[in-house]
Homo-oligomer: A and B are copies of this chain.
């Protein structure tokens, strides 16, 4: 095995991105098919600036990916879609990921 999951920091970022009801809805909606920002905002029922913020977080975590395209009538549309992520969370996989945390480890001792 050794499966090499994400690093501890990346995992924390992914979990933080998913630990929000709205972002969970966004991922769920995109799982049904790619969509562009304005339409997605209408479907979910939130403002575009707000959706924009959440999309940034999800994309930064590597859970979704967006690319700008030009529609037939020349409009710039940004389409987002989910990436092929798969996380298995158990006590042991988390313990494995925790080894690669770069965040301040208080137990490391404050350097001297």
Interface residues of A (CB under 8 A from B): 8-9, 11-13, 15-16, 18-22, 24-25, 27-28, 30-32, 43-46, 82, 84-92, 94-95, 97-99, 101, 103, 105-109
Interface of A is mostly: helix
CA distance A108 to B43 in the complex (A): 10
B95 to A85, Cβ gap below 8 A?
A: no
Residue of B with least CB distance to A27: B94
In the bound complex, residues from chain B placing their C-beta under 8 Å from that of A105 are: 25, 45
In the bound complex, residues from chain B placing their C-beta under 8 Å from that of A20 are: 12, 16
Residue of B with least CB distance to A25: B98
Partner of A97, one of B11, B24, B44: B24
CA distance A99 to B32 in the complex (A): 13
Given contacts A86-B90, A87-B89, A88-B88, A98 and B8 within 8 Å (CB-CB):
no
A91 to B44, Cβ gap below 8 A?
A: no
Partner of A18, one of B84, B92, B94: B94
